[in-house]
Chain A
Amino acid sequence: MTIDRKKLVDLLIEKTDLSQEEVEIQLDQLIERILDAAERGKALEIKEFGLFFFDQEGDLKFEPSEELSTEISFKYAGMKPVELKPERNTAIPDDDDPAGSISAADDVIVVPKSDRKSPSLNPKKSPETKPASASASASASKIRQPIRQKKDRSGVWALLAFFIVLIIGAIIYFNRPSTSVTDTSVSVSEPSSQESDIQNYPEPQDNTETEIENNDTSTEIVEETYISEGSDEEQNQEVSVPIQNQIYGLTGEFAESVNTGYSIVVYSLYNDFRAEEVAEELRADGYRVKITTRVVDGLDVYRISLGLFESIPDAQAAAETLPEPFNENNFIQRIQL
């Protein structure tokens, strides 16, 4: 919405109880004063609002005061850049390039494009015979290494994730054999007992009684079926619990054990009661909701965030799926308890 001069005058009349003429005169005087001061090469400051001045090109500029800037960007106040990747300085380049490690790391940035065309340069071969090319090759290798390093790192993370999944899979798998064994033993009497389901629990007792008369071994089987059914349910629960309580995602509940990850902030509020109310509403919608507190200008700010994600891209992708206005009006913060 745009407030034009007429609306502004109306609002000023409402606020000051001055007449329209007076307000118009005062507004013109203010503008004149700003321009007059600026034209004289001075800046005119309206305290707690900002500074008007002419820049070197002669354009009228305005620099908002810190208070006004903070107030306008209140929602994001106190936010700091989040580092996404570690520094380049690692032990890997030293292992690959013992001779080249002498060259200054800062100079590396200048060289890259010309030297990238000669990827076959090997600093290990003749570092002493060709000092100029050696330093160039050393720098070239130093430039390339971080790129490889990044890929390696992502590969390592992927492998790590893969192994974790494998271990979890193995744990689930090794917990299952007991069910599969019982399943095989159950398979004989399964049709009758499973069709009856839980509602027909009393019936099997009758069956056992009748079967006792016939054969002792068959009763054992029948008893096993009920034992195995029970254990099967338990195991199903065991399997389904981690799925329901997945650590990451937009919906569900926050696992207290997880203290790192990324979340989508959709509200920043001063009032903790209001924050709790809003959080409850979002929880009712099935979202994984968390309230985090930040101190901004000495005041507690309650940020309500949705979901928990392993990485920023995951969080960004999830943020796009949020309903309006959250899908456009949000930011991602790192959760650290």
Chain B
Amino acid sequence: MDTVFIKAFKEILREQLVEKNSVDIDGFGTFEVIHYEQHQKRYSNGKVVMMPPKDILEFKSNIKVSNDN
């Protein structure tokens, strides 16, 4: 496979995802950036912390393989 193509593929996806655009590749899946707001979290020791917000890249695909093998 062409390394130039792979490099371009990575760069384009990165650029689009950093701009919070989702990339939908038909027949493969969708790359999407999900924003999580800051929220409070309580640990079992009673400590309560404010978790910082974050953006997470998620990939959703309909492709599934059976585990019969």
Contact = CB atoms under 8 A, between A and B. Distances in A.
A68 interface: yes
A72 B18 contact: yes
A68 B45 CA distance: 33
A215 B56 CA distance: 85
Contacts of A27: 5, 9, 25
Interface size class of B (residues with CB under 8 A): 35 or more
B49 A82 contact: yes
A23 B5 contact: yes
Given A59-B64, A84-B40, A331-B53, A12 B14 contact: no
Given A84-B49, A85-B47, A73 B28 contact: no
A318 interface: no
Interface in B1-38: 1-2, 4-6, 8-14, 16-19, 21-29, 31, 33, 38
A59 B27 CA distance: 14
Nearest to B51: A81
Contacts of A22: 2
Residue picked from A56, A62, A146, most chain B C-beta under 10 Å: A62
A16 interface: yes
Contacts of A29: 1
Interface in A28-59: 29-31, 33-35, 38-39, 46, 48-50, 54, 56-59
A130 interface: no
Nearest to A47: B10
A336 interface: no
Given A16-B4, A83-B47, A59 B28 contact: no
B12 A15 contact: yes
A30 to B, nearest CB: 6
B61 A30 contact: no
Contacts of A113: none
A5 B49 contact: no
Contacts of A48: 10
B25 A64 contact: no
Nearest to B46: A88
Contact of B31 (A62, A69, A332): A62
Contacts of B46: 85, 87-88, 146
Contact of B29 (A30, A62, A88, A332): A62
Nearest to A79: B52
The 8 closest A-B pairs by CB, nearest first: A62-B59, A79-B52, A81-B49, A88-B46, A15-B8, A60-B61, A73-B55, A26-B5
Given A8-B25, A56-B67, A76-B53, 16 more contacts: A2-B22, A3-B23, A29-B1, A30-B6, A31-B25, A34-B28, A38-B65, A57-B64, A59-B63, A61-B59, A80-B52, A81-B41, A84-B50, A85-B47, A85-B48, A146-B46
Interface of B: 1-2, 4-6, 8-14, 16-19, 21-29, 31, 33, 38, 40-41, 44-57, 59, 61, 63-67
10 contacts: A3-B16, A5-B27, A38-B65, A48-B10, A59-B61, A72-B55, A83-B49, A88-B47, A312-B50, A332-B50
